[in-house]
């Protein structure tokens, strides 16, 4: 059985290390000097699968970074957890991973890790182990990025937020001087079903703690990633 009190201290240390090692973004915002813990420690289990960084969240494969996991169906929350980071305490070690996929058959509290990630917290031969985990700020460098889904155009615009330090809860675009909410899909894109028009436009993204970023994006294009000008603190 995992000791929640002891695990909380480990998770706090993990988050503090992540925050202290983050670099300031090119937009001039430095990472916070204190750890950002975004939830209470949760007990669950970890298993592993043949992860490559892609999955239900719609991210590209990341062969150079396989510290990734799939979230159980109950807590996937319609893709709201996609891109967030969780600090895990297992029987043999600690690790922070990114959520990139959904595990439909996993129960509440269950994280399905890549085999590489699982090996850092437990013996691979164990297959299934008890863990404690908590949502934390991601250790990212650079600014938030925006990916236009393939097929995006002025008539149908789908945007995915990438490289965010904190979980993103909302995306809006400015239409005729007013901010218009863009619904999030279960495949982790914010989709303006009628498009955002032919020209450049502004978006506003909101993080789980209420921080916002405003960025100017070019006219929608199919399968293109553009960099924003800032990062969450």
- Is the pLDDT confidence value at 194 over 80? yes
For the stretch 111-144, pLDDT in tens is 999 999 999 999 999 999 999 999 999 999 999 9
Q: What is the mean pLDDT of residues 165-188?
A: 97
Q: Average per-residue pLDDT in the chain?
A: 88
Predicted pLDDT of residue 29: 28
The pLDDT confidence band at residue 22, using thresholds 50, 70 and 90, is very low
Number of structural domains found in the chain: 2
**Order of strands, edge to edge, in the sheet holding 145-148?**
190-192, 157-162, 145-148, 224-227
Q: Does residue 90 sit in the same domain as residue 35?
A: yes
**Residues 6 or more apart whose Cβ sits within 8 Å of residue 207:** 164, 165, 166, 167, 168, 169, 213, 232
Q: Which of 93, 115, 136 is a domain's end point?
A: 136
CB atoms within 10 A of CB 194: 11
Q: What is the mean pLDDT of residues 73-86?
A: 96
Q: Does residue 126 sit in the same domain as residue 151?
A: no
- Is the pLDDT confidence value at 8 over 60? no
Predicted pLDDT of residue 19: 38
- Is the pLDDT confidence value at 208 over 50? yes
CB 70 within 8 Å of CB 51: yes
- Is the pLDDT confidence value at 6 over 60? no
Q: Which domain holds residue 14?
A: 4-136
Predicted pLDDT of residue 232: 97
CB atoms within 10 A of CB 215: 20
CB atoms within 10 A of CB 150: 10
Q: Which of 114, 136, 158 is a domain's end point?
A: 136
- Is the pLDDT confidence value at 201 over 60? yes
Q: Which two tokens stand for residue 31?
A: 């990472």
- Is the pLDDT confidence value at 166 over 70? yes
Q: Does residue 130 sit in the same domain as residue 163?
A: no
- Is the pLDDT confidence value at 53 over 50? yes
Whole-angstrom Cα distance, residue 186 to residue 20? Answer: 33
Q: What is the mean pLDDT of residues 161-167?
A: 97
Q: What share of the chain is helix, strand, coil (3-state, %, to 5)?
A: 15, 35, 50
Predicted pLDDT of residue 13: 45
Lowest mean pLDDT among 23-32, 120-129, 176-185: 23-32
Whole-angstrom Cα distance, residue 54 to residue 5? Answer: 33
For the stretch 209-223, pLDDT in tens is 999 999 999 999 999
CA angle 182, 188, 191 (to 5 degrees): 30
Predicted pLDDT of residue 18: 41
Query: Checking phi first, is residue 9 left (phi over 0); if not, alpha (psi -120 to 50) or beta?
Result: alpha
Predicted pLDDT of residue 36: 55
Return the C-alpha torsion angle 22, 113, 74, 170, nearest 10. Answer: 30
Residue 233 belongs to some domain of the structure: no
Residue 219 belongs to some domain of the structure: yes
């Amino acid at each position: 059985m995992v000791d929640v009190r002891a695990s909380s201290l480990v998770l706090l240390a993990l988050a503090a290390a992540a925050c202290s090692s983050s670099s300031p973004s090119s937009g001039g915002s430095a990472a916070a000097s204190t750890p950002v813990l975004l939830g209470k420690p949760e007990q669950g289990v970890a298993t592993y699968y043949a992860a490559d960084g892609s999955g239900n969240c719609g991210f590209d494969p990341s062969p150079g970074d396989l510290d990734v996991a799939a979230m159980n169906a109950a807590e996937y929350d319609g893709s709201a957890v996609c891109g967030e980071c969780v600090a895990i305490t297992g029987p043999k070690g600690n690790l922070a991973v990114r959520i990139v996929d959904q595990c439909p058959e996993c129960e509440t509290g269950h994280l399905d890790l890549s085999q590489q990630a699982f090996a850092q917290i437990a013996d691979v031969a164990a297959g299934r182990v008890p863990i404690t985990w908590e949502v934390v700020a991601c250790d990212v460098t650079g600014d938030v990025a925006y990916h236009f889904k393939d097929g995006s155009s002025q008539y149908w615009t789908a945007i995915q937020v990438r490289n965010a330090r904190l979980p993103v809860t909302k995306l809006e675009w400015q239409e005729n001087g007013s901010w218009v909410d863009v619904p999030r899909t279960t495949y982790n894109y914010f989709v303006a079903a009628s498009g955002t028009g032919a020209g450049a436009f502004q978006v506003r993204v909101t993080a789980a703690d209420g921080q916002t970023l405003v960025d100017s994006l070019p006219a929608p294009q199919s399968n293109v990633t553009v960099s924003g000008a800032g990062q969450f603190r």
